[in-house]
Amino acid sequence: MADINERAKLYSEFEKNAIPPMDALYNYALRITGNKNKASRLLQETYKKAFWFFDKLDKSINIRDWLFRVMRNAFINKFSNQSKEMTESDYEEAEHFYKSLKSSSPDIARLEKVINNKLTNYELSEILFSVPENLRIVIILCDIESFSYEEIADFVDVPVGTVISRLRRARLMLFTKLYQYAEKFDRHQ
């Protein structure tokens, strides 16, 4: 009987602590998989693994951060085999485009208006998903989930300098893709 009571107490504690970040985890899963079905499966896998190990979790560890780490590992193990890695030429192309854009002084405000008024959530997700996975994860954790550089470095298991470099690259590629979207949309108006 004690085992049943302990299990019920553990389940109650897990539910109290692990359910609040579920929406943020689902949004993260959706952004890294680019697919609602895969995101739902990844979320289920994350919570299944998290519950399995919850009784061994050190109570001083932040549950939200731990759940994101469990999700990252589940993603790597189950869904990541089809991920796109950025080649140096992809980044160089984006950087060259950005530098040429900067020197030509474009009307950023006009294009920003196009993005704010015309870009759908689906299109934004597609653009974000087109950024290579190693960069996409960093930009999502920093700019959407508000993790610190140190937390991200710990999360993706790289030095803080690498996080900063990846974030710069991710923002540059995302800016380039959004700019090209806005310009394309603006030309067709």
Question: pLDDT tens digits for 34-68?
Answer: 888 989 999 999 998 888 888 888 888 888 888 98
Of the candidates 90, 126, 116, which has an alpha carbon nearest to the alpha carbon of residue 186?
A: 116
Quick: pLDDT tens for 85-116: 445 556 666 666 666 656 555 666 766 777 77
> Which residue, 82, 107, 137, sits at the end of a domain?
82
Q: What residue numbers bound the domain in which 76 lies?
A: 2-82
DSSP, res 86? P
- Of the two residues 32 and 79, the one the predictor is more confident about is 32
Shared domain for 72 and 142, answered yes or no, is: no
Mean of per-residue pLDDT scores for the chain: 81
Shared domain for 37 and 68, answered yes or no, is: yes
Give percent of the chain with pLDDT exceeding 70: 80
- Of the two residues 163 and 81, the one the predictor is more confident about is 163
Domain containing residue 128: CATH number: 1.10.10.10
Shared domain for 154 and 106, answered yes or no, is: yes
Shared domain for 20 and 108, answered yes or no, is: no
Q: What pTM was estimated for this model as a whole?
A: 0.61
Domain containing residue 65: CATH number: 1.10.1740.10
Inter-CA distances, 49 with 113, 145, 151, Å: 43, 22, 21
Give the pLDDT of residue 182.
80
Please count the structural domains in the chain.
2
Mean pLDDT of the region 63-79: 83
Report the chain's C-alpha Rg in angstroms.
Answer: 20
Shared domain for 77 and 98, answered yes or no, is: no
Shared domain for 74 and 94, answered yes or no, is: no
Q: Is the pLDDT of residue 132 over 80?
A: yes
Shared domain for 148 and 108, answered yes or no, is: yes
Residue 146 CB neighbour total at 10 angstroms: 9
Shared domain for 37 and 100, answered yes or no, is: no
Q: Is the pLDDT of residue 179 over 70?
A: yes
Shared domain for 66 and 92, answered yes or no, is: no
Shared domain for 61 and 137, answered yes or no, is: no
